[in-house]
Amino acid sequence: MEMSVVQPAFAVLASSAIAIRAYKRNSLNLSGAFLGFLVLSIHIAANYRYGAMLLVFFFTSSKFTRVGEEKKRSLDADFKEGGQRDWIQVLFNSGLATILVMIVWQLSGSEDKCLDTQKSPLVTSLIGGIIGHYACTNGDTWSSELGMLSDAQPRLITTLKTVRRGTNGGVTKAGLLAATAAGCLIGLTFVLLGFFITRCAFDVALKQLLVIPVSAVAGLGGSVIDSLLGATLQFSGYCTVRNKVVSRPGPTVKRISGVSILDNNAVNLVSAFITTVLTSIACSYIF
């Protein structure tokens, strides 16, 4: 059956408008806006639910990035006005999910499917991976952006010792709760939209509600994995000249934790990959 041109056309128009808006608001630079346009177009053209999850991640993360900018500017050595992201950050935060979306698109077209291993085990596993990916990326962003504003002193996840705000691998209760809520929102988006555009048996439809706790766990778990990687494989040090936590060693930098193996983008990619795989496997057993 020939695919309708309506959904792809809508995908291109909507993605163009959102990319232009994000560029004008400094949420994305030019390269980030261009790649974001391509990624979002693919998501919406393949399935409205995939596009919705990506948009929830993008809009909420952009919003929370702007919250408490004055405080973040004083703490974050790599602070950018508006949280402006480039093509590398777009790629590392959505590239893996985009690959999975294209595979599912090839296997089932734009037909929306419920998570049901009895009818489509491979597609169920792949969709579970997409959900896990955005639960992780959303959870990590909420945890970082809101956790930094917490009045509580962060603790290094590997030792539980208090560390300076902005230290890679530092966690707070507020940050972990934010990660859980962020993952939950991704699952809620997938489920609620599915009730309107997906057809499946009543018992299968009812079981889709389990996506919400699964994605909440993925949000929390992804944030924890990210913090573990950040505390061990990403350098954190205190610069006595800038009076800020920095991610590169130097003559005026006193080491806090970690070694210089991964940068922040690589940590995000690895944590998203691990969470994607684990959520994909979990969905294969649960659904």
Provide the pLDDT for residue 45: 93
Q: Which residues contact 67 (CB under 8 A, 6 or more apart)?
A: 145, 146, 149
Provide the pLDDT for residue 95: 92
Under the banding of pLDDT at 50, 70 and 90, the label for residue 69 is low
**Residues pairing with 239 in the sheet:** 244, 253
What's the average model confidence in pLDDT over 144-162? 87
Q: Counting beta carbons within 10 angstroms of the beta carbon of residue 8, is it exposed (0 to 12), middle (13 to 18) or buried (19 or more)? A: middle
Under the banding of pLDDT at 50, 70 and 90, the label for residue 81 is low
Alpha helix (H) residue ranges in the chain:
6-24, 30-46, 48-66, 69-75, 87-108, 121-147, 173-197, 202-207, 211-233, 264-286
Provide the pLDDT for residue 281: 96
Over residues 21-39, the pLDDT tens digits come to: 999 988 899 999 999 999 9
Q: Is the pTM of this model over 0.85?
A: yes
What's the average model confidence in pLDDT over 179-192? 96
Under the banding of pLDDT at 50, 70 and 90, the label for residue 150 is confident
Higher pLDDT, 241 or 228: 228
Query: Among 169, 186, 177, which residue's Cα sits nearest to residue 134?
Result: 186
* Four-point Cα dihedral 246, 173, 216, 148, nearest 10: -30
| C-beta separation of 101 from 11 below 8 A | no
Instruction: Classify strands 244-246 and 155-156 as parallel, antiparallel or unpaired.
Output: unpaired
Under the banding of pLDDT at 50, 70 and 90, the label for residue 72 is low
List Cα–Cα distances, 233 to 20, 100, 236, 250, 259, in angstroms.
36, 27, 10, 17, 5
In angstroms, the CA 82 to CA 203 distance is 45
Provide the pLDDT for residue 71: 66
Provide the pLDDT for residue 2: 47
Provide the pLDDT for residue 1: 37
Provide the pLDDT for residue 26: 85
Under the banding of pLDDT at 50, 70 and 90, the label for residue 227 is very high
Instruction: Provide φ and ψ at 249, rounded to 5°.
Output: -70, 160
Answer yes or no: is pLDDT of 136 > 80: yes
